[in-house]
Amino acid sequence: MRRKLAAGNWKMNGLRSSLDELDALAKAHPDPDCDLLICPPATLIAAAVDRCQGGPLRIGGQTCHMNMEGPHTGDISAQMLRDVGATAVILGHSERRADHGESSEDVRTLAQMAQAAGLQTVICVGESQFQREATNTLDIIGAQLSLSIPDSSTGENLVVAYEPIWAIGTGQIPTADQIGEVHDFIRARLEQRFGYGVGKSVRLLYGGSVKADNAQEIFGISNVDGALVGGASLTAKDFSPIIEALEASALPADS
């Protein structure tokens, strides 16, 4: 049984006062039926870990460097994230791929380092609008999966997030059939590459304009084990109903 996961990506948002949102989330979900992960900006990670000690929230980074230490001004390594208490890191987000030219090969190297440092890696894949219209989306996703995911991946240290670029922050989301098609494809590819047991145990998140009013439908789609949420993860008020929808989807239908 895969445990559901609600992950929040705060991107370049959040000041120290934003940590109050973590308290509010922890208070609203003291014993959730899913895992909860918040990835705040690097400046808040250590303080967020302290705030969340003993509670239901885990804290992660939004990227890391491909070396563990050295002359890389402004960068942060996987072992530094682990050292301050982060348990996970988002890698290959489309904004990193676009703003920092990260290729899928780069993402695989980052993921190797992060997994070696003991972090869970949330590896993002997704097609652009142009790619969806002009080519076969599954070919794009298939290439990103094989190039971005390292061989060191397991059911514990790998989470894959399907984030169509055209759905991020736009309010536009794919149809349930489109999401299901890609998630079933990702599952099949993972099973082929890592074997049935490992492939089955990797959690697959959908990301892109998840909100309270579409969460229930998204969480009902096959092979959707949770969500990677941007804008709606910034406040407990917006994130809480998404978590509730995920918890409800995790319960057996007759309960």
Verify binding: residue 163, ligand PEP, rule CB under 6 A. yes
Verify binding: residue 209, ligand PEP, rule CB under 6 A. yes
Verify binding: residue 37, ligand PEP, rule CB under 6 A. no
Query: Of all residues in this chain, which one has the CB nearest to ligand PEP in the complex?
Result: 230
93 included as an active-site residue: yes
Q: Smallest distance, Å, CB 215 to ligand PEP?
A: 11
User: Which member of 83, 105, 136, 169 binds ligand PEP (CB under 6 A)?
Assistant: 169
Strand partners, 89: 61, 121
Residue numbers 65-104 binding ligand PEP by CB under 6 A: none
Q: 160 vs 21, 42, 48, 156, 202, CA distance in Å?
A: 26, 22, 24, 11, 7
Between 126 and 194, whose beta carbon lies closer to ligand PEP?
126
Which one of 95, 163, 181, 244 is the catalytic residue?
163
Q: Smallest distance, Å, CB 161 to ligand PEP?
A: 7
163 included as an active-site residue: yes
User: Which member of 48, 88, 168, 221 binds ligand PEP (CB under 6 A)?
Assistant: 168
* Tokens representing residue 61 in the block: 């980074």
Strand partners, 205: 161
* Tokens representing residue 32 in the block: 């959730």
Segment interacting with ligand PEP, rule: CB under 6 A, options 55-63, 191-199, 227-235, 244-252 = 227-235
Residue positions annotated with a catalytic role: 93, 163
Binding site for ligand PEP (CB under 6 A): 9, 163, 168-169, 207-210, 228-232
